[in-house]
Amino acid sequence: MVIKIDKQPIPITEIEQSAFCQTDGELASKTLEQEFDSGVRWQKLPVSYMRTSPEELERKISSAKKKLGDKVVILGHHYQRDEVIQYADIRGDSFKLAQYAADATNSEFIIFCGVHFMAETADILSEPNQKVILPNLTAGCSMADMAHGDDVLDCWEDLTEILGEGAVVPMTYMNSTAAIKSLCGENGGIVCTSSNASAAFDWAFEKGEKILFLPDQHLGRNTAITKGVALEEMIVWNPFKPLGGNTVEEIKMAKLILWQGHCSVHTRFTTGQIDSARKTDSTVSIVVHPECTLDVVQAADYVGSTEYIQQVINDAESGTSWGVGTEISLVNRLAAENPDKNIFCLDSVVCPCSTMYRIHPAYVAWVLDGLLEGVVVNQIKVDEKTRKFSKIALERMLSIK
């Protein structure tokens, strides 16, 4: 049970975000036993996996993958550490991986190297005979944790009482629980990602005059601005205040109701960092993710999803300089893959996504060894009702252009 208090409690995943931050050095994997000292929550593993060296884990994983063959497909989100992403059969952002999960009907097992909501989505979109595995069950998402199911239901009931049935179209970002996706599907809403948020907004405004956007207020605000929605037509819903901290009149006047959530990685970026980058190199181009705050987005030269950021930098001319506002594992990978360009993270303090970073190679080895022995561990299974309505919202997302 969640106890509501005046000040919104910070999700544990948010508190833990700084656990892996550092000002220099490489984000190279250590043994899992050593990484347990970081002070974050980890799923416990047998001691043998805890103490296995990164080199030995690499041999174990490669061997297991070869033995399992086409029975297993490994999906890897761009924010995964290099030591894990190297084993991914498909790399992508949440939208690309959701599309692949819907089409990967030939593999019996889908190992999702990402976070919990992504594995839930894969289970919803995959076939009933397929099994989705999340290597580390503590790989959650602080943003998703900010939209608790009961709180969102309370909000929806308040809005329905004030505005009437069908007055608001619920839209949730992919970074949310299956329960939130289900609420959207059941009430005429849709799921979106940073790749297709603009098209999803078009779809929603064709259905109604108001949108409830969950759970990332920044993606919602930044997208709405591009659609001509004025800031005065947006309100923020704080789930720990009556009516989200708004008056009935403000709710009636609003075109966009933004849930009070954010990404702990992307809100680290500031206009000061952009100014500093421009002072250092007047030719630098700035590209940021739309989960950044509005002032950062407006100060940047390019704004888009992780897939978009990759494309812009990969297609850029040799010798160009790029300051990037997104997760450090992706930035480092882009720099390594584009040695002819100067690519750097806007934030000098290196902070990987602490929940994505919990997919350590030891967990990948553990789940693969289990499959070799006929044992499925960490299967993610969404209940039938939630699956039904979540799938409706997700299929609406996949159907729009």
| pLDDT of amino acid 10 | 39
The mean pLDDT of 280-289, rounded to a whole number, is 97
CA-to-CA separations, 244 to 194, 196, 219, 259, in angstroms, rounded: 25, 27, 19, 9
| pLDDT of amino acid 24 | 45
Answer for the pair 355, 115: CB distance below 8 angstroms, yes or no: yes
The mean pLDDT of 138-166, rounded to a whole number, is 93
pLDDT digits (tens, 9 = 90+) for 168-190: 999 999 999 999 999 999 999 99
242 and 391 both lie in a single domain: yes
| pLDDT of amino acid 14 | 44
Q: Look up the CATH number of the domain holding residue 324.
A: 3.40.50.10800
pLDDT band of residue 28 (cuts 50, 70, 90) is: low
As for how many domains the chain has, the answer is 3
| pLDDT of amino acid 380 | 94
How would you label 187-221 residue by residue, b for 16+ Cβ within 10 Å and e otherwise? bbbbbbbbbbbbebbebbbeebebbbbbbbbbbbb
Q: What global pTM score does this model have? A: 0.84
The mean pLDDT of 302-329, rounded to a whole number, is 95
Query: What residue has token string 């259905």?
Result: 207
| pLDDT of amino acid 2 | 33
| pLDDT of amino acid 352 | 57
26: burial class by Cβ within 10 Å (0-12, 13-18, 19+)? exposed
- Is residue 10 domain-resident? no
| pLDDT of amino acid 39 | 62
Answer for the pair 223, 196: CB distance below 8 angstroms, yes or no: no
| pLDDT of amino acid 354 | 66
pLDDT band of residue 4 (cuts 50, 70, 90) is: very low
Tell me the helix, strand and coil percentages in the chain, rounded to 5. Answer: 50, 15, 40
Sequence-separated (6 or more) residues with CB below 8 Å from residue 241: none
| pLDDT of amino acid 358 | 85
Phi-psi region of 39 (alpha: psi -120 to 50; beta: other; left: phi over 0): left
pLDDT for 252 beyond 80? yes
Domain, as residue range, for 109: 28-140+355-384
246 and 150 both lie in a single domain: yes
230 and 330 both lie in a single domain: no
220 and 303 both lie in a single domain: no
- Residue 247 tokens read as 């008056």
pLDDT for 25 beyond 50? no
Pick from 205, 217, 212: which is nearest to 297 by CA? Answer: 217
CA-to-CA separations, 117 to 132, 211, 357, 389, in angstroms, rounded: 12, 22, 15, 15
Mean pLDDT of the chain: 89
pLDDT for 37 beyond 70? no
Q: Which residue has the higher pLDDT, 328 or 346?
A: 346
pLDDT band of residue 362 (cuts 50, 70, 90) is: very high
150 and 252 both lie in a single domain: yes
- Is residue 109 domain-resident? yes
Answer for the pair 322, 330: CB distance below 8 angstroms, yes or no: no
Sign of CA dihedral 172, 174, 180, 186: positive
- Is residue 22 domain-resident? no
- Is residue 181 domain-resident? yes
216 and 297 both lie in a single domain: no
- Is residue 232 domain-resident? yes
pLDDT band of residue 350 (cuts 50, 70, 90) is: low
